[in-house]
Structure 1
Amino acid sequence: MKNPNKPSVETVLKTIVTLAVVGVAGTLLALQIKISTEKEIKRAFDDIRLTSEITRNLQFHEALEIARRLAPTVIPYPQGEIILRSKDGGVIKLGINRYAVMNKVVEENRILLVWGIIALLVSLELAIILAYMITYPIRRLSWAMEAIAKGDHQIKVPIKGAFVCELENLIRAFNNMAIQLQQWRRLQSQISRMDRLASMGEMVSGVAHEIRNPLAAMRIHLELLMEMRDSLPAEAQENLEFLSGEIDRITDTVERFLLFARPHRGRIENLPIGQVISWATQMIRSLAPSGVIHLETRVQNPDQLVEADPGKLRQVLLNLISNGIDAMPNGGKLVIWTKIEGDRLAIGVDDTGEPIPLDMVDRIFEPFVTTKPNGTGLGLAIVKKLVEEMGGYISLSTGDGVTSFKISLNTAPKGTSSVYEEAH
């Protein structure tokens, strides 16, 4: 925050440069006036000497008139130090008319004074421009620091516009510091998330195991009752079917908890992406209502090999496809696409269903965050975990009525064969 009691750097620079310019211009002008004044005084004495030669042979009144004409910068003065004598013995005391001398100096140096004032104004304007060019990058650094202090770690100060190399080096050092601070904040967030997930995983794993044992006993007793269902009333049979479905749902939830909680290395293989997308297409056709979901695939290179765990990659795609279909109960468009990005392969699943609320976009991959009324909030958390276990990452983007999940995985080195070729 700016301190009103202290001047800014720009004000100090303007003051220093202005004083320097005024001082130099004033000194040069004073020196020129001094030289011109001395020159005029010398000229006045020369005029007096010439007048003295002429008036020596004239009468007093004639000598006085000649003195006034020949020496305009000299006036009769009783205490004058210059004495002229006429032919008839008259004495004329003269003194230098300094007012006339100064007027003559000013008149002779009028053009110089005008150009001096113009040069002074131009110099002041240049001082303002110079101060602005030096201080503007500093002000930008100050604004950027305030933005970082408020939590905006994406800020970057452009190097263009730095007037001197020191300012350019300062801006470059600041940008490097901002990048390192951003990386540190991201690493800190990841460490915090990992700690939170580890603690949550331990708790979830314990709770899931505690639920799993009585749930298994309930399943056994339910199966015994199901064997006797024919002897039960129709209403009891319906209740048993409902109870069986609910136990299956609880079992699925517990399995999701355990899958989220326990680490699983799996196996990384070289998979042709075309076969993976073909499998995903078949899953869409089996899951989506006929004629309601319009499917589109855009595979850049079907033979491109990607390093992934077959089971994990299928589970990830199945979860994203199911979410996309659930988001379009009234129909829509589902697009699966791939794109090679350097040494990585991007796999995308886009849908035109209900968009994810903006306040949930940044938290959608966190555990227990869900947009479904009856969802557990573990589906996308498990997806993120599985993708990271394969050495990849997943991101979400929304806009123009499209929700897009993008998975990025490593491509297999050139010359390697797929797992299917090795099997044959």
Structure 2
Amino acid sequence: MIENNTIVVVGLGYVGLPLAIALADRFTVWGLDVDAERIAELQRHHDRTHEVSADRLAGTKLSLTQDPAACPPADIYIVTVPTPVDAENKPDLSIVLAATRTVAAMLDGARKPIVVYESTVYPGVTEELCGPELERVSGLACGADFFLGYSPERINPGDREHTVDRITKVVAGQTEAVAARLADVYGAITSGGTFTAKSIKAAEAAKVIENAQRDINIAFMNEIATIFAKLDVSVWDVLSAANTKWNFLPFRPGLVGGHCIGVDPYYLAYRAEVLGREPRVILAGRSTNDDMAAWVAGEIDRAAGGERPRTLVLGLTFKENVPDLRNSKVADLVAALQTRGHDVTVVDPLANAAEANHEYGIAISSEPPADRRFNIVILAVPHTQYCAMDEQAIRALLTEGGLFADIPGAIAPRLSDQTIRTWTL
């Protein structure tokens, strides 16, 4: 019976923690993470990602550890670690392979365990790289002593509607029996049901194209924004009209960062290149979105028209209402402004200051300095508290004749005070 499964979730970040807690409502679950500080925080009922509340952590039956040896032999191991790209935008599988070696040392062949990967990878990684590595380290035979599975993660940081207990979970297994077992386990924790993919490669491919599709569509919006800027037409005005058509897709332009959309298309592009296929559309979209921060910086600089302006940037995280700084394109915007001579101050009420300094060399505070006014104020991330700002709050930050730049178009369209100079896409 599925209720008797013992499960170990490896990696307790944005993906692993909510999954482990949901599973712990039905099964015996251990959460393993190599970050001792992360484990200590969770044991104090604090989640730095803000995905799980203190009350939920306090009430869970999930067991937490940083020591693989502390985990009991398990029936299912679920790997939920990051899969970033390197400096050349090539897949960096070092973390997922390190987690694979950790799991390999824990396998008990007598239990015929399943090793499931949720990390986003290009098609083939689970069976062609992870399976052989599990065999090499464990000395066990894949397909006999242990089995492989894949269930792509669909966590959207900050999204309280599409949570792991509500979404459809795609599952795939090395055999039909493995796939059926995974469908039962995941189906026990989500009201959205499960979908069994035809193969592990199909499930891997489905995940990577989900994000590539969004990336390409946003790239089109960014490209048309740069075109309409030449015509002195706001892209928001154009989209307001176009969105009245019943089949127009409601994508929006902006800075595309984060660990998924800004990274995953490179995995598919890499696999295509290895196979001798040039991924022209995928890479064109990535290039367009990666260049957007520099283009925005140039447009704001020209609109301001000042020398060495004092510039305030509101928000550094990769998206609104989350503390996640991974692959933040606002950091690229800050660098581009500094290159143009701007004296930049960055504030973000949600981001971790130590992480911002470590990852990007950017010093941040939670609030703007009370004793300074700025020639330019840039709304980079539409956190809820920023979107609630009115004309008086904006004027209090600006010097006389200063510029308010609203990248996401969250405030500028509703401003009635014509004395505030504005710029938007």
TM-score (norm 2): 0.20
Q: Which is greater in Rg?
A: 1
